[in-house]
């Protein structure tokens, strides 16, 4: 079961509120899809500058594997406060700990209401429906 302390987007990002800050990352499923379980297959991560205003659903960065590039989408609106510099040179952190050390950006959310996102149980079902 995935962590129940956060919400999930259909584009496989998660968002977790921490006081006035919202932390955003990507799920284990997203990491698996990008890397097929081989952390060395992830090659690059492009992250936004602090201060950028993100609309909900807006592309805020890219993750690149040896196969392809995938966009990262903001699950909620807000201003970028900080990006996780550690992952830029160590993308394997995303494989090892997508829920914690593998966070991607922190934003100041426009609203703390995480509307239109899934809880862990709903995301579980959503992912199950994706597998063929």
Partner 1 sequence: MKQTALHDVHAALGAKLIEFGGWHMPVQYGAILDEARCVRSTAGLFDLGHMGRVHVRGKDHLRFLDRVCTNFVAKIPVGAIRYSLFCKPDGNPIDDLLVYREADAVYLVVNASNTPVDLAWLREHAHGFEVEIDDQSDATGMLALQGQRSTEVLQQLVTDCDLTQIGYYKFGFGTVCGLRNTRISRTGYTGELGYELYLDNKDVVRVWEAILAAGAGADVRPIGLGARDILRLEAGMPLYGHEIDATHNPIEAGLDFGVSFKDEKGDWIGREALLAVRSAPQKKLVGISTDGPRVPRQGARLFAGATDVGYVCSGAVSPTLGTNIASAYVSLDRGAIGTALEVDFKGKRQPCTVRELPFFSRTRK
* Site for partner 1, rule CB under 8 A: 36, 38, 40-41, 43-44, 46, 64, 66-69
**42 close to 87: Cβ distance less than 8 angstroms:** no
CA separation for the pair 35, 56 (Å, rounded) = 26
Minimal distance in Å, beta carbon 132 to partner 1?
Answer: 9
CB of 92 or CB of 110, closer to partner 1: 92
Minimal distance in Å, beta carbon 72 to partner 1?
Answer: 13
CB of 3 or CB of 44, closer to partner 1: 44
Minimal distance in Å, beta carbon 78 to partner 1?
Answer: 21
CB of 50 or CB of 66, closer to partner 1: 66
- Tokens 């805020």 locate to 60
* Contacts of residue 77, Cβ cutoff 8 Å, sequence gap at least 6: 53, 54, 55, 56, 109, 110, 111
CB of 71 or CB of 122, closer to partner 1: 71
Q: Phi, psi at residue 91, to the nearest 5°? A: -65, -15
For every residue of 89-131, DSSP letters joined together read H-THHHHH-TTTTT--EEEEES-S--TT-B-HHHHHHHHHHH-
Largest CA distance in the chain: 40
CB of 55 or CB of 66, closer to partner 1: 66
């Amino acid at each position: 079961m995935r962590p129940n302390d956060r919400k999930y987007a259909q584009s496989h990002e998660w968002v977790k509120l921490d006081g006035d800050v919202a932390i955003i990352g990507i799920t284990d499923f997203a990491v698996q899809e990008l890397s097929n379980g081989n952390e060395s297959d992830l090659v690059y991560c492009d992250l936004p500058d602090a201060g950028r205003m993100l609309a909900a659903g807006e592309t805020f960065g890219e993750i690149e594997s040896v196969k392809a590039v995938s966009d990262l989408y903001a699950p909620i609106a807000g201003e970028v406060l900080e990006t996780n510099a550690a992952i830029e040179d160590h993308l394997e952190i995303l494989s090892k700990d997508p829920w914690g050390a593998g966070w991607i950006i922190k934003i100041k959310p426009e609203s703390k209401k995480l509307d239109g996102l899934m809880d862990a149980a709903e995301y579980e079902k959503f992912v199950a429906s994706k597998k063929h």
